[in-house]
Amino acid sequence: MPELVVTALLAPSRLTLKLLRAFMWSLVFSAALVAAAVYGCIALTHVMCRPRRGFLGRPRHTPPVCLSDPTLGEHCFLILRSSGLRLHYVSAGRGKGPLMLFLHGFPENWFSWRYQLREFQSRFHVVAVDLRGYGPSDAPKDVDCYTIDLLMADIQDVILGLGYSKCILVAHDWGALLAWNFSIYYPSLVERMVVVSAAPMSVYQDYSLHHIGQFFRSNYVFLFQLPWLPEKLLSMSDFQILKTTLTHRKRGIPQLTPSELEAFLYDFSQPGGLTGPLNYYRNIFRTFPLEPQELATPTLLLWGEKDPYFEQGLVEAISSRFVPGRLEAHILPGMGHWIPQTNPVEMHQYMWAFLQDLLD
């Protein structure tokens, strides 16, 4: 068929897709402006209630002692083959079993896996990375350096760079979004997967279009589409919005000690410390619309009944995409979003049972 004819036949579809994208971006930025107004009021309220803290975050010059706790493992760096970036990771239990690789979410870092590092280093080589843009890991400034494809390449380079051909991937929040995609495009590198509190992007997209309540739970995502302003709002009154997110009595991790809280704030208080992590969100809508994808990697999914950010209905939506018999899903009563830190004992019980046959 002549190229001119093919182009003419495809023109209506291409125009429709362009119009759909334009409409989607107009909605995204409208929601971003509304979210900016709301979070701006919240940030200003914090400043007025705590005027001595000022408008900016207090710089931290010395990391808290808990970040160097020797029981968690050895601090190392790895040069990634694909990008040449240097990634920081903490490693323990080398030579004791399969690789168990941990991917953190936002606003966290490798330290969010402290309980799991201690628990599983006796039978696995446990490795918790600081994803690109976080902590001591390299943090490119360009938004285009944080696309899903590049972040997946980082995971591949970590697994192969550590000398393994596959791993058990354990992931939470943003790390889980990456893990879902990674298991689809690099299935040979993932033997098992443990996912906490996150859905695949295509599932989240389809579910949100039919459940408007999910959009309201994820309102912060729209704020983060804007340049520079989210960094300013999150740092006001010495990062009070982040402090509240992490320590709220019902929605956060109320048992965090002051030192543990500083383990997260220390990285974000460094120059440009928030920009890399927020650039993850600034790439979310670039691949819209997403096609449905079949999920086949044997997966343990843990979901908090009272997760304030994701509705329970997402669990059923995830299950509908799985090859039968490959998903073990549990909705945990009374638990919220931060299960690896708030309920590590329960999480470990499910993980040991799920992984037992690999250890026999």
pLDDT of residue 146 exceeding 50, the answer is yes
Give the Cα separation of 296 and 168 in Å (integer): 14
What share of the chain in percent tops pLDDT 70?
93
Quote the DSSP letter at residue 309: S
Give the Cα separation of 218 and 253 in Å (integer): 19
Give the Cα separation of 188 and 166 in Å (integer): 7
How does pLDDT run across 35-75, given as a tens digit for each residue? 999 999 999 999 898 888 877 888 899 999 999 999 999 99
Q: Give the pLDDT of residue 16.
A: 59
How does pLDDT run across 96-129, given as a tens digit for each residue? 899 999 999 999 999 999 999 999 999 999 999 9
How many CB atoms within 10 Å of residue 290?
Answer: 13
Bridge partners (DSSP) listed for residue 304: 332
Which among 173, 153, 155, 139 is positioned nearest to 279, based on CA atoms?
A: 139
Domains and CATH numbers, the chain: 74-207+284-358 (3.40.50.1820)
How does pLDDT run across 158-187, given as a tens digit for each residue? 999 999 999 999 999 999 999 999 999 999
**Strands laid side by side in the 327-332 sheet:** 74-79, 86-92, 125-129, 99-103, 167-172, 190-196, 299-304, 327-332
Q: State the average pLDDT over residues 215-225.
A: 93
Question: Residue 2 is encoded by which pair of tokens?
Answer: 């002549």
Q: Give the pLDDT of residue 13.
A: 57
**What amino acid occupies position 299?**
T
Specify the higher pLDDT residue, 112 or 29.
112
Which among 157, 179, 161, 154 is positioned nearest to 169, based on CA atoms?
A: 179
pTM for the model stands at: 0.94
C-alpha distances in Å from residue 279, one per residue of 37, 202, 350: 20, 19, 33
Give the Cα separation of 287 and 101 in Å (integer): 26
pLDDT category, 292, cuts 50, 70, 90? confident
Give the Cα separation of 92 and 76 in Å (integer): 11
**What amino acid occupies position 240?**
Q
Catalytic residue list: 173, 281, 337
Which among 299, 302, 297, 311 is positioned nearest to 345, based on CA atoms?
A: 302
SS3 annotation, 187-227: HHHEEEEEEECCCCHHHHHHHHHHCHHHHHHCHHHHHCCCC
Are the C-beta atoms of 336 and 304 separated by less than 8 Å?
Answer: yes
Are the C-beta atoms of 101 and 127 separated by less than 8 Å?
Answer: yes
Q: Give the pLDDT of residue 51.
A: 82
